[in-house]
Amino acid sequence: MSEQTESQITFTETQLQALTRLGISTPELYAQYPNSHHNAIETLEQRGCDALPKDTVIDEMQIYYGDVAYSPAIQYRGGKLIGFDPNAYAKPADNECVSFRINGLWAYIQVAGRILVDLTGELELPPMPTEKDVLALVAA
């Protein structure tokens, strides 16, 4: 049996109803942003809605733009900016998704202005990179 790709992932009506019952999604958004919903459902099923502890050390953080993002736009390791992909950062006009992955966990997922998952709580997140940060990264 071949492995499903991200674009072939399907969701059960039960999973969609779970998100709809929580008041954080609609069938239209689900159809438009299936991968973000899959990640949100998986996170909520595995971890629940509790925020990460305030004292969580962020070893790695990736920020993705788009429902199907093959690489992170911004990457941090040990609190330092280690990656910036200008192509991935150029958010597609037809795709209003942003997702944060912290220490391997989808900690924040937003689609079309609706937050599906927010486990960031009181965590102090690294700042968004400035143009100076990006130029220093490229020069390194």
pLDDT of residue 96: 85
pLDDT of residue 62: 96
Query: What span, in angstroms and rounded, lies between the C-alpha atoms of 117 and 94?
Result: 21
DSSP labels, 45-111 = HHH-SPPPPTT---SEEEEEESSS-SS-SEEEETTEEEEE-HHHHS--TT--EEEEEETTEEEEEEE
Query: What span, in angstroms and rounded, lies between the C-alpha atoms of 61 and 3?
Result: 27
Instruction: Using the structure block, give the residue that is written with the tokens 């991968």.
Output: 35
Query: Around 124, how many Cα atoms within 13 Å sit in the side-chain half-sphere?
Result: 3
Nearest CA to 66 out of 105, 22, 35, 30 is that of: 35
pTM above 0.85, yes or no: no
Q: Mean pLDDT across the stretch 92-110? A: 87
Q: CA torsion sign, 34 to 37 to 41 to 47?
A: positive
Q: Mean pLDDT across the stretch 55-78? A: 92
